């Protein structure tokens, strides 16, 4: 998506070590009109997977996942990092190493909302190492749901996430692909 690429180049900041800061429109402050367009594009590209649920991780994945779920007309489930007091049903959990925080993060969902037979489309903000995406896929598998596709806003090919998630054998779509962030650059495909 050209609009997304332009926003990355104009507003994104290369913080080094492969970290891209896009807080002005995606990860801290959210541009709702842009998110709507991104979600519609992800939905268009992945509608053929016929999902019954969209799954993401809190927090940064929620905005694009919500927009995609709305465009598809299906519910959004987000994996929580801490269980709220209201989560009184069976919980399944997985851990993933956070690329930006550098530690292990526990992701959990209630089996009240993610169930056997669900066709799950995973939507996230970034595809870097695929740690979060593969943890979400394991959550879906634990409840007997089937992952049918993966959609991300930004992919960093130099971190090999696509290869790390290839074993899921599902369609993968990214709206912007960064091929290099060496020497302070941001190089888009």
**Cα angle vertex 96, ends 51, 45, to 5°?**
25
pLDDT given for residue 121 in this prediction:
98
pLDDT given for residue 101 in this prediction:
67
The domain that holds 152 is classified in CATH as 3.40.50.2020
CA distances to 39, 157, 183 from 171, rounded to whole Å, are 16, 16, 32
For residue 54, how many other CB atoms are within 10 A of its CB? Answer: 30
In this prediction the pTM is: 0.94
pLDDT along the chain (189 residues), means of 10: 96 94 92 97 98 94 97 96 72 82 85 95 96 96 97 97 97 98 95
Looking at the structure of the chain, the number of domains it has is: 1
Q: What range does the domain containing 15 cover?
A: 2-188
């Amino acid at each position: 998506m050209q609009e997304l690429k332009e926003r990355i180049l104009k507003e994104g900041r290369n913080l080094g070590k492969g970290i891209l800061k896009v807080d002005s429109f995606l990860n801290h402050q959210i541009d709702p009109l842009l998110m709507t367009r991104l979600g519609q594009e992800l939905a268009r590209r992945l509608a053929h997977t016929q999902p019954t649920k969209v799954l993401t991780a809190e927090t940064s994945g929620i905005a694009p996942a919500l927009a995609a779920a709305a465009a598809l007309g299906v519910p959004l489930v987000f994996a929580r990092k801490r269980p709220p007091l209201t989560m009184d049903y069976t919980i399944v959990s997985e851990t993933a190493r956070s690329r930006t925080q550098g530690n292990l993060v526990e992701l959990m969902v209630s089996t009240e909302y993610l169930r056997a037979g669900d066709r799950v489309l995973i939507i996230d903000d970034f595809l870097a190492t695929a740690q979060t995406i593969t943890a979400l896929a394991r959550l879906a598998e634990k409840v007997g749901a089937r992952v049918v596709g993966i959609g991300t806003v930004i992919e960093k090919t130099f971190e090999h996430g696509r290869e790390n998630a290839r074993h899921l054998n599902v369609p993968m779509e990214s709206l912007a692909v960064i091929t290099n962030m060496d020497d302070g650059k941001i190089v888009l495909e």
